[in-house]
Chains A and B, each alone.
Chain A
Amino acid sequence: MDVAEIISHHILDHDWGVTLSGFRIPVTTHTVTLLIVSLVLLLGLHWISLGRQSRAGRLLTTLMEEYVSFIRDGIVLPNMGKEGKSFLPYFCTLFLFVLCSALAGLIPNMKTATANISVTAGLALCSGGLILYCGLKFHGILGFLKGFIPSGTPGWLVPLIFPLEVVSMIIKVCVLAIRLFANMLSGHMVLICLLLIIFVVGQMHIAAGAGALVPAMGLELFMTCLELLVAFLQAYVFTLLTSIFAGSVIHTH
């Protein structure tokens, strides 16, 4: 097994090959990770929401209220205004889902689901759907389409500007997917490459491999801490950009 194969094996999704009446069921390492994350979030948040009277229960309830307050006052309301309040559950779920999917990769035998372009594309499509829904809900079809034309645009420029603005919005949604995917993937590739340094150097000489162990593990630890930071940062960025894009169609020019 060469280095490229090792990296591919570590990074790529693995289909478990489940079929039902000849129809392929997408049971893969990443989808299983997503399901586990969803189940943990559902059970955990439901338990917290019941408002247990134990000390841990009260602490977690307060923590979640602070979290909701952060999403509402720090992300949703500044970008979407009061109209965004009804979408608060969506954004609260989005942040935790992206964060936990990324953090799941730090648990042994689990994968970072957001390092899969299909997963991030799915999340970006959900965000795109939300943006579309916001535009249609608050402005109607014509109002939403008018929103793509900046105010003060001369009439003869409209046929040029309108498709550009539509493509711009589509690109924004695509970039949401690519940004998250690339950040998560690159972090994991760096982690596996740092580990492979030990084996590559070790193949040259066993003593050299032993010598590379300590610096490689130090870098590995540093990168793992960086991955933690990146997981929080990307979850925040994904949620923030979704709210900004949705806010831009609610409050047009």
Chain B
Amino acid sequence: MENTNTLVDKSRLVDEKTVKARLVTIFTKWEVLLLLIFITMCIVFSILSPYFLDYFNLMNANFTFMEKAIIALPMIFVIMSGDIDISIASIIALCSFAMGAASASGASTPVIVLIGLLVGIAAGAFNGFFITAIGMPAIAVTLATQSVFRGIAKAVLEDQAYTTYPESFGFFGQGYVGDTLIPFELVLFLALAVVMWYILHQSSYGRKVYAIGNSTSAARFSGVPVKRIRFTNFVLNGLFCGIAAVLLTSRIGSTRPNIAEGWDMEIITLVVLGGVSINGGKGNIFGVIISIFLLGYLKFGMGLLNISGKVMIITTGTLLVVAVLLPMILDQIKAGKKITRKAA
């Protein structure tokens, strides 16, 4: 559907629009705007701090946001089809708890990882069941499971923590690829991003997700298995939470009940800032990938400049609101101009 749209747009560009108009359409595209902001930010930071454009620093900065980035990928699907999942941080806690328990009882690294992923899938399926089979609103269900999932970890662990993991388990979150300075987490994220790009933009599954987001009833009447796809989205989300839980647990080497607390909002911010409409049906994976690195390096750069974490919170929040507010205002200005032109 979107493909044909862009085709139509392109042919129109060639026929009707001047070079200037073409440039305007390119530069008002969301991903391009984000990219420009990203480049500006990099330039500003490298002027302000000599340590910013350091290969070693830039690579290591990835460790701080790759787990969130990985969950942002399936979250695109969930938000795209008009749902939302605010239980992701709690799924991580549950997975990490299960892995910790397995490790404490002497499981080997592959078994620990497998358990983490399976628990993630199960938690995602649990959400998906109540949302699609029972028909409860996604925000209400995941609001409740947010307490249920983390509650399990809290009830069993109380104020204790699992801190013993096999040595080989440490690779996932701390390892580098070969002798390079490229973190394994970054490579894994890029690989997953390619897979998710393919599913979202090249497969029929992705087309159906867009269709559901644009109009659930129209999609249902066109024979799209709406419930099954929404269910799959949540399972996918759970699986990716499992992957992120493996990386995070491996990186920090311990499981506490408050692990990953507050990530839900951060990840939703990543997706929305990336241009995915919260009402579903609009957006693409490139915008989200840019916004992941934009926010990640923004935090890293501000950290280099000794800016306190609280100011970072304010900046992220402002960025989110302004990012959505700006296009709306621009649209209104454009619309206003059109009206006056018509009147004249």
Whether chain B is bound by chain A comes out as no
Interface residues of B, Cβ cutoff 8 Å to A:
none
- A residues bordering B, Cβ < 8 Å? none
